[in-house]
Structure 1
């Protein structure tokens, strides 16, 4: 009888180890631009979050970092908090994720809220810090890059539109912090680029925009319609409208 019990325990343990190993070895594909953002449920510093559904018809930014209580990550979170009003004005919801556990997130958040950052008063961190201690979410989003940082998530960004479709992806190395201002510029560009309109290099809100199709067939100078101009037959611009 003892041998039977021992055998059963051994089989169960082996099965569990094999399942864990299979999960570790599973290949995870980075979700691509144009695909639906993978959904998940997780505990956060703001309670349970069903992502992206809980954010409704908002733009969403899923922002991953490697580890709590580290200097570059701390500077990034403080910068996001400093730009909270701008994200709100753009109808953007932020969600920050790492493989650190929830207790660590809570302690780190408390410590960050005690810091006076770049001449500003102490700030409240309103966006959720997501517990991904299991690394399942980070793997699902392709944010575990073993060659760089083992089992820690890299510095990743997914910008997701109100239809929960991924519109932009960034990955940064461990030693380079991201720019909140570039995140904001990217969201503004994505929101502005509609139909035939596209944003040129270094575009800022209020700048002229590129049009993908010339507004006229006859491109002679005398036929250029008001509100447009060209740099070449293949490079047409629409002038920014005043007050936009």
Structure 2
């Protein structure tokens, strides 16, 4: 069965550029972002991993560990990192999983089943651009899959992490385009008006089902 939101992220032992990791043990007590890229030494992937590296202070601020994955070998990863650092003006410090046997990619359903050009020299399917956001309890909170031809916006993934973490702390949801605490949030529908008055003083009722508040004013 495919993985869904709310499932426990499967544990695994993996060889990475930062040594072997047992996934659940490695991320214990933290959020994690597990993301796959099609192949090393390719242009879109180089820009993506460069951006992830540049966001290191933001991941750390949110107690998030990031780990990449592709079907390439460990040697390939290690050689490619030098190119990422050079061309993207950064320093890749997060681990990248070598999944040449496609064991983890299969469990997480990361392999490309559509694009006949996204294959290795033997014709084996490569990974697509999958993203899994996993919380400290190892619960999958977000799954996004992009085609090989489309680079991801990791600033958007950072925004989703902010939304998830905030909603875990307060009884809110975030509206379309929410950018952070400077924007209004939505009072969760499970909260009645009496409780909302205590939790969110000054909240606005636009419709009975649509109530907003600025948290820095609450």
TMscore range, shorter length: 0.7 to 0.9
- SS of the residue corresponding to residue 146 of structure 1 reads coil
Most deviating of 82-91 and 187-196: 187-196
What is aligned with 1:162?
A: 136
Tell me the CA shift for residue 139 of structure 1: 0.6
Query: Structure 1 residue 146: deviation in Å?
Result: 2.0
Task: Give matches, 1:9-88, under 5 Å.
Answer: 29-88=1-60
Any unmatched runs of 5+ in structure 2? 120-124, 195-199
1:212 to 188, 206, 216: 188
**Offset of residue 111 of structure 1:** 2.0
Structure 1 counterpart SS, 2:92:
coil
Question: Secondary structure at 1:52's aligned position in 2?
Answer: helix
Larger radius of gyration: 1
**How far does residue 53 in structure 1 lie from its aligned partner after superposition?**
2.0
2:122 corresponds in structure 1 to none
Equivalences, count: 203
What do the CA deviations read for 1:44-76 (whole angstroms, capped 9, x no partner)? 100001113212111100010100000000000
Of residues 67, 76, 99 in structure 2, which corresponds to 1:132?
Answer: 99
Could you tell me whether the CA contact under 8 Å between 2:47 and 2:84 is conserved in 1?
no
TM-score (norm 2): 0.88
3-state SS of the aligned residue for 1:123? coil
Q: How far did residue 123 of structure 1 move?
A: 2.1
Q: Distance in 2 between matches of 1:123 and 1:145?
A: 29
SS state at 2:15 partner: strand
Equivalent residues of 2:175, 2:185 under 8 A apart: yes
SS of 2:81's partner is: helix
> What SS is found at the alignment partner of 2:160?
helix
Q: After TM superposition, give the deviation of residue 30 of structure 1 in Å.
A: 2.7
Runs (5+) with no aligned partner, structure 1:
1-28, 218-224
Aligned twin of 1:25: none
Q: Following TM superposition, by how much is the alpha carbon of 1:227 offset from its aligned partner in structure 2, in angstroms?
A: 2.2
Q: Does residue 237 in structure 1 map to residue 212 in structure 2? A: yes
Q: Distance in 2 between matches of 1:226 and 1:174?
A: 46
Contact 1:37 1:165 (8 Å CA) reproduced: yes
Superposition CA RMSD, Å: 1.7
Cα distance per residue 1:116-143 (max 9 Å; x no partner):
x3xxxx3221100100000010010011
* 3-state secondary structure, aligned to 2:38: coil
Counterpart Cα distance in 2 of 1:226 and 1:44: 49
Report the Cα distance in structure 1 between the residues aligned to 2:5 and 2:173, rounded to whole angstroms: 16
The alignment's TM-score, normalised by the length of structure 1, stands at 0.79
Rounded to whole Å, the distance in 1 between the matches of 2:21 and 2:48 is: 22
Structure 1 match to 2:153:
179
